[in-house]
Amino acid sequence: MKILNLGLLFVLITLFSCSTPKSENKKPNIIYIMSDDHCAQAIGAYKMRLAELNPTPTIDRIAKEGILFENVFCTNSICTPSRAAILTGQYSQTNGVMDLSGKIGKAQQHLPTEMKKLGYQTAMFGKWHLKEAPEAFDYYNVLPGQGDYHNPTLYTREGDSLTLFKFEEGIEREVYATTYQGHSSDVITDISLDWFKNKRDKSKPFFVMHHFKAPHDFFEYADRYNEYLENVDIPEPASLWDNKNNGSVATKGINDCWMDTIGSSIGHRNVIRNMGMHMEIDPNIPDPEYKRLAYQEYLKRYLRCVKGVDDNVKRLFDYLEAEELMDNTIIIYTGDQGFMLGEHDYIDKRWMYEESMRMPFLVRYPKLIKAGSQSDAIINNTDFAPTIIDLAGGSTPDYMQGNSFKSILETGQEPEEWQQATYYRYWMHMAHKHNNPAHFGIRTKKHKLIFFYGRDFKQRNTAAQKWAHNPASMSDFETIPAWEFYDLENDPHEMNNLYGDAKYDAIIKDLKVQLKDLRTSINEEDTKYPEIQKIIDEYWE
């Protein structure tokens, strides 16, 4: 009898000792939520000019219960290249995606591939925008290209009707196409929740990428938000009306002769593309009234889309809490880049200016992250994949160029050896009637140096270039090269280009050395583009 009792006791102790560590060492789930063109200005937790409108109470919760990063930047503020950098952990020349025509095939879909090696079930929902199908994921259900805001069709490996879909020109995949009723933000969340409830393997941790289409232009919101902010006067940035000394001859032309062409505007300034056109404001109304009406309509539509995103993030949170998954799930929220909401009288993104290149980035995981933390460490989107892999128990693959910032999540402190600058490059040139000149540059915590070299990287018929209003494309045209320098400590809104000010000569010289070294170290030089290199050599000093 005593032997039996001792044996039973041994079994119970063994079971208890084995089960407890297993529970404690369970890998965290990870959900990466990304919206398209959602900028920090439109998130309450960042306490910028739109915070008083409180469009994002759910997203703000991530900051309250986790960490908010102040200095996260994209390496190229345009959809496809940014998404490629996030998925590969690599800069544009290395992953091969410099502009919107780039593609990422299965072999380059590194993040889900590495996560599967670590035992994760992977899924991708919503906006993909990388041409080829997301075949490296265990499950996907994605929009083709930009997709539709209302009643969208999505493509997956299972569904209602089999079709041949061109994810990339000349490459067809057999996929199932299903058209859903409703707004895309709701539909994408419905699909994610269905996977969580009915399709995921509950014996494995999950890695989910949940990508909203909203608030990408042209800001089509769900009908239930028709009255949201209707009678509110949206705060305007001061630079909408007075851009002071922002810019250079590269962005304004000699004697401001290109002001009506470069950089799509809110009001009548840009005659080729302005937000009043998109908002259907009567073009006969003169500025400043035209500009004011366009701005108000633009911001209301944009923020209604943002509100729809926030409400759907709450639906995801509600599910995680109901299933008791919330505290064992690392929740990341970001946008694929920033966005200009009238700052400097610009719309869209593409620029290296703060509002365009800054990405919101918030993380909640109470087992690791102290609630209410903030960090001003410089991070860019090539760092996302290494960090997610590190959080999942892996290590950064040699082929990735980014760095894991897991230790910052754990401690809230920036390591002594952490990067002190980030690189940016907008490869496209004078594209899509937004007409942003091609440029690259370096940003530190205190300063920003930009070089507008003004030429497309693709071979163009520049000999036959012709400056004309409202052309189909101006990518053939070479713009004037010029440098811009901003003292971000004293001029955080970049209102005073100080390039050429003798007081900053030493700082600018040092930044050029850093920029040159950085371009070499991350494979971002122009040896493949001799015409661009010629301009760099001519204007470097």
- Note the pLDDT tens digit of each residue in 277-316: 999 999 999 999 999 999 999 999 999 999 999 999 999 9
- 161: pLDDT confidence band, cut at 50, 70 and 90? low
- Is pLDDT of 130 > 90? yes
- Is pLDDT of 17 > 60? no
The size of the chain, in residues, is 541
End-to-end CA distance of the chain: 92
Q: 18-31 burial string, b = 16+ CB within 10 Å, else e?
A: eeeeeeeeebbbbb
CA distance linking residue 239 with residue 153, whole number of Å: 40
Let me know: does 484 contact 497? Beta carbons within 8 Å. Answer: yes
Q: 244-268 burial string, b = 16+ CB within 10 Å, else e?
A: eebbbbbbbbeeeebbebbbbbbbb
Instruction: Name the DSSP class of 224.
Output: G
CA distance linking residue 262 with residue 436, whole number of Å: 6
- 167: pLDDT confidence band, cut at 50, 70 and 90? low
Instruction: Name the DSSP class of 228.
Output: T
Closest alpha carbon to 427 in 379, 475, 382, 359: 475
Let me know: does 343 contact 237? Beta carbons within 8 Å. Answer: yes
Instruction: Name the DSSP class of 68.
Output: E
**On the CB side of 77, how many CA atoms lie within 13 Å of its CA?**
30
- Is pLDDT of 14 > 80? no
- 11: pLDDT confidence band, cut at 50, 70 and 90? very low
pLDDT reported for residue 466: 57
Long-range contacts of 505-514 (CB under 8 A, 24+ apart): 507/447, 508/449, 508/483, 511/442, 511/444, 511/447, 511/449, 511/485, 512/449, 512/540, 514/421, 514/442, 514/444
Closest alpha carbon to 364 in 328, 389, 392: 328
- 12: pLDDT confidence band, cut at 50, 70 and 90? very low
Q: Name the phi and psi angles at 27, rounded to 5.
A: -65, 145
CA distance linking residue 127 with residue 110, whole number of Å: 18
CA distance linking residue 532 with residue 536, whole number of Å: 6
Q: What is the mean pLDDT of residues 213-232?
A: 97
Closest alpha carbon to 149 in 213, 192, 80, 78: 213
pLDDT reported for residue 20: 38
Alpha-carbon distance values, 496 to 215, 253, 410, 448 (Å) = 30, 17, 38, 12
496 vs 473, residue with greater confidence? 496
Which residue in the block uniquely carries the two structure tokens 């670590």? Answer: 118
- Is pLDDT of 512 > 80? yes
465 vs 186, residue with greater confidence? 186
pLDDT, mean over the chain = 92
Query: 3-class SS at 179?
Result: strand
- Is pLDDT of 7 > 90? no
pLDDT reported for residue 120: 98
Q: Percent of the chain beyond pLDDT 90?
A: 86
Based on DSSP, count helices (H) and strands (E) in the chain, helices before strands.
Answer: 14, 19
- Is pLDDT of 319 > 70? yes
Torsion angle in degrees (nearest 10) through CA of 452, 454, 458, 460: 180
Q: What is the mean pLDDT of residues 85-105?
A: 96
CA distance linking residue 258 with residue 339, whole number of Å: 22
- 166: pLDDT confidence band, cut at 50, 70 and 90? low
pLDDT reported for residue 22: 38
- 158: pLDDT confidence band, cut at 50, 70 and 90? confident
Q: What is the mean pLDDT of residues 499-511?
A: 98
- Biggest alpha carbon–alpha carbon distance for the chain: 101
Structure tokens at 195: 């996977």
Alpha-carbon distance values, 59 to 67, 339, 492, 500 (Å) = 12, 18, 25, 42
Which residue in the block uniquely carries the two structure tokens 């960042």? Answer: 46
The 171-179 sheet, strands edge to edge: 161-168, 171-179, 153-156, 139-143, 121-127, 206-211, 29-35, 329-335, 361-364, 67-69, 373-375
- 169: pLDDT confidence band, cut at 50, 70 and 90? low
Pairing of strands 421-426, 439-444: antiparallel
Tell me the pLDDT tens digit for each residue of 412-468. Answer: 999 999 999 999 999 999 999 999 999 999 999 999 999 999 999 987 766 655 555
CA distance linking residue 208 with residue 116, whole number of Å: 12
- Is pLDDT of 364 > 80? yes
pLDDT reported for residue 275: 98
CA distance linking residue 316 with residue 489, whole number of Å: 38
21 vs 428, residue with greater confidence? 428
Which residue in the block uniquely carries the two structure tokens 């366009």? Answer: 294
Which residue in the block uniquely carries the two structure tokens 């990388």? Answer: 130
